[in-house]
Amino acid sequence: MDIAVVGLGSMGMGMARSALARGASIRGYDIRADVRAAFEAAGGRSGDTLANAVRDADVVFLVLVNAKQTEEVMFGPEGIIRDLNKGAAIVSCATLAPKDARDFAARVEEKGFHYLDAPISGGAAKAAEGRLTVMASGSPQAFAAAKPALDMVAETVYTLGDEAGIGTSFKIVNQLLAGVHIAAACEAISFAKRLGLDLTKVYEVITKSAGNSWMFENRIPHVLDEDYAPRSAVGIFTKDLGIVGDIARELRFPTPMAAEALQLFLMTAAAGMEQDDDASVARLYSLITERQ
C-alpha cells in the first residue's frame, strides 16, 4: 500500500513516522521545507510538491488544521483530486464542522474517490507510537480502502456510521470536554499558585485524587516546566470551541462552560500566545494575577 501524509505537524509527523516504522511505503508533504527535510532525515520520502507527494497513493491522510486548509489541499489550484488514482481514499483528520465533512465527502465521491471523515485524538506522543484513536464515519467502501493504513497509525478505530459528518460530531463533543478540562486545569493550578502551594506537590496529589483529569495530568507538567512549545496550540481551541458554539446556536442548545472556556482561549490568543501550547491559559492567569 502506498500512503501519503499531507501536513507534517506534530500529529501528522507522528503518524507518518509510525507508518514508516511498520514498513509502509509512505510519502510526506508539508509546505515547510525544513519539516520535509526532517521527515527525510527520519527515513521517509518527501514530495517537493503536493502533486508529487500524493501521486499514485492508495490512501492520503490529510492532517490539517481546519476546513479551509482541507478544501484548499483537495480542490485548490494545486489540489490533490487531479493527481490521485481513481478509487483512492482520502482520510480527513482535521476537526471540522459536520456540514463541512458532508460537503467534502459529496464532492470527493463525485470525482470517483473515497472520503473518510476520520478526526483523530491522542496527542503527539500517541501519534508517534501508532496508538491514536480515530473517530471515523463514511461508506463501507471508504472504510475498506483505508483500513490497512488506519491500522498502521491507530490503536482504536471507531466505525461510527456510514455518512461523513458523524465522526466530526463525535470529535466536537470530545473537543468541548478537552477545552473545558484544559481551562479548568490551568485555572486550578493558577489558584494553587496564588494560595502559595508547592505546585509539584499539587500535581502529585491531584493526579491521585478525584479531581484529576487526563488534561490536568498531561498539560500541567508543561506549566510546571514553563515549557510552552506547542504540542497543541491555543489556536486549535479557539477554532474547535468556536465550532461548538456555532453548532450550539444552530441547535438552540446552551453550552455555557464551553463558551467560558472559549473566552479564556481567545484572551490567551489576544495576549500573543495563539501559536503557543494550549496550557498557556495558565500564563494568562499569571498575567492577570500579577497585576493585583
Query: Is the separation of the CB atoms in 183 and 249 below 8 Å?
Result: no
Residue for cell digits 497543541? Answer: 232
What is the distance between the alpha carbons of residues 157 and 118, in angstroms, rounded to a whole number?
9
Phi, psi of 134 (to 5 degrees): -115, 125
Active-site residue, selected from the candidate residues 99, 147, 171, 201: 171
What is the distance between the alpha carbons of residues 90 and 258, in angstroms, rounded to a whole number?
31
Query: Is the separation of the CB atoms in 50 and 57 below 8 Å?
Result: no
Nearest C-alpha neighbor of 43 from the set 8, 14, 17: 17
Phi-psi region of 134 (alpha: psi -120 to 50; beta: other; left: phi over 0): beta
Nearest C-alpha neighbor of 36 from the set 52, 50, 48, 18: 48
* 201 catalytic residue (yes or no): no
**Which are the catalytic amino acids?**
171
